[in-house]
Structure 1
Amino acid sequence: MVRRNIDPTSAAEVFRPALQAELQERPYAFDIQVQLCTDLERMPVDDLTVEWPEKLSPSVTVARLRLPQQDISSPVHTGAAFVQHVHGPAPSLTNGQAVRRSGRARVKQEF
């Protein structure tokens, strides 16, 4: 990966051109990792402010996201049509709302 110095105040759009340049130059791969809850007392599932110790639950790779080398600068990949395609019309949840709901469900299932 090339280290790019990006000044967010230098233009209205600074991140899109940087991403376009990166993906035109090379492919990327990212490991998606999770931690499994092994101790509900020390690793609460409803409190996002508590850091889970790696000693109790080391990260486990569950997937790899691969972004092939590509040109994403065409109008098909920008603008309102792209945002609608990526995000869809569904309303967004507040921060942590989905985690709290699923966390409670997991706790009920485990006990």
Structure 2
Amino acid sequence: MQENQPAFESIRLSDAYKQMKHLSSCNVPFSFAFVSLDQSKRNSKGLVFVDSALLRKSMRKESSAYYGILVEYTQYKQLEDKDRHFYLPLLVMFNGKIVTNEHLRIKR
């Protein structure tokens, strides 16, 4: 590995989300990880790894203040078919790639 080269492959947040939607429309499961957040309890359970999932249809714009950032998913072929969700800006990994958020500007 060359110096200044990342150890892991990365993907932009917007590209990861587009790929998640495309794979879900083709019924192809994918893996991802995100930082959990429960705003009502004001806590987090840390990093959550999902081995195999598909996105569900998102909420309507009129029905949620979190439209556009709250992503609905279901775990693929699990005994417990519970609807789940995560906040898109807290997505950190998609199919083994590190997710970079193009909206964050970090000075080095």
The TM-score normalised by the length of structure 2 is 0.23
The TM-score normalised by the length of structure 1 is 0.23
- Structure number with larger C-alpha Rg: 1
